[in-house]
Structure 1
Amino acid sequence: MSRIIIVFSKVEIGKRIQDVLIRYGFEGMTVCSTGAKALQEVNSTGAWLVICGYRLTDMHFTELKRYLPAYAELLLIASGQVIESSPPGTMAVETPVHAYDLVSTIRMMEAGKHRCRKTRAIKAQHRSAKEQKIIEDAKHLLMERNHLSEEEAHRYLQKQSMDTGRTFSETAEMIRLLLAGEG
């Protein structure tokens, strides 16, 4: 996995964190100073992780977390006091940051994402006949209406599923209902 967005109101702090992560083998990082730019980067690159401080130049980390797409996670770097008052479920590393703590936390989050993908892949292998029919119907509708090949229709469903954080069959059902309603 790659594509990590690092966002701090002071770009120098972000650059230092980026340097540490590069030393530990991470690639594909972007450093920015505003939450808006971070959101733009996440949406355009599909980044899976945003590392940030608690206060950005244009928003608080809780706002950034709320606006992130379902597939992206947030890692807060802040003082113990800020971490204690942060919303439940916020992944955080306390300042002063030690490289080992930061890297091990990111690797743990990355492994969690990987496990989640594996679980989804296993579930996909055990689809019911009803779910399989819904998926096939959605593909055929996409092929008819949008003149796509079966492979392109499958990729479209896959991308929509990943972008929305829904299962493949839920996405197929949504597409099927939307396209069937147009006809």
Structure 2
Amino acid sequence: MNTSIVIALPKIEDAKKIRTVLNRYGFTVAAVCNSGANALASISELDGGVLLCGYHLQDMYYRDLLDYMPDYFEMLLMASRGVISEAPTSILCVGMPLKVGDLVNTVSMMLSQIERRWKKDKKKPKQRSWKEQNYISNAKMLLMERNHLSEDDAYRYIQKCSMDSGTNMVETAQMVLMLLYDSV
């Protein structure tokens, strides 16, 4: 997945200046806009990333935008110290007037965290549906009944056959069920 940066500020000229700064430091900005609706539209077309936004856009405040933002995007609020002190702790903030080093380091850190989270989520085994789990359970039961295996041994047998044949466990369980039912 590609991480992207979207900038939403009330003055489009300011957003373009920040895009130029980020481009200079090697970041690619996917969209620049001055309204929350445009920011959300841009975000919906992207895999994930960071939304840099101001306190108040043309059509909504940052808190409204946060409510509508998908989980795969993080917000970086650029605002005055007073606004930052009232911001929720879930939002990272950069104080105005903006320091280029702070902005670049914060965006870099946020993009790295998002990448790490994606890699971690990718490593998690996906949950099997009820139907898929049922195939495996039925195949285990049949192996336990017919071959007098324990539940652990039946599971390991399906797992080993799955690895040996290069198919996933659900397909292997379906093959075991077909083979054992055909032999009846």
- TM-score for the superposition, normalised by structure 1: 0.67
Give runs of aligned pairs for residues 137-152 of structure 1, distance below 5 A: 137=132
- Root-mean-square deviation (CA), in Å? 2.0
The CA distance in 2 between the partners of 1:25 and 1:110, in whole Å, is: 13
| CA displacement at 1:96 relative to structure 2 | 1.0
Give runs of aligned pairs for residues 21-60 of structure 1, distance below 5 A: 21-60=22-61
Contact 1:83 1:92 in 2 (8 A): yes
| CA displacement at 1:136 relative to structure 2 | 8.2
What residue number does 2:129 align with? 134
The CA distance in 2 between the partners of 1:86 and 1:71, in whole Å, is: 20
> What secondary structure is seen at the aligned counterpart in 1 of 2:75?
strand
Number of matched pairs: 132
The CA distance in 2 between the partners of 1:89 and 1:70, in whole Å, is: 12
> What secondary structure is seen at the aligned counterpart in 1 of 2:7?
strand
What residue number does 1:70 align with? 71
What residue number does 1:115 align with? 116
Residues 92/17 of structure 1: CA separation in 2 closer, same or farther (3 Å cut)? same
> What secondary structure is seen at the aligned counterpart in 2 of 1:41?
helix
Residues 137/42 of structure 1: CA separation in 2 closer, same or farther (3 Å cut)? same
The CA distance in 2 between the partners of 1:135 and 1:83, in whole Å, is: 46
Contact 2:22 2:29 in 1 (8 A): no
What residue number does 2:18 align with? 17
Unaligned runs of 5+ in 1: 139-183
Contact 1:7 1:53 in 2 (8 A): yes
The CA distance in 2 between the partners of 1:136 and 1:22, in whole Å, is: 49
- TM-score for the superposition, normalised by structure 2: 0.66
What residue number does 1:87 align with? 88
Contact 1:41 1:47 in 2 (8 A): no
What residue number does 1:3 align with? 4
Identity score, percent: 36
1:146-180 residue CA offsets vs partner (Å, 9 max, x unmatched): xxxxxxxxxxxxxxxxxxxxxxxxxxxxxxxxxxx
Look up the equivalent residue of 1:121 and give its one-letter code: K
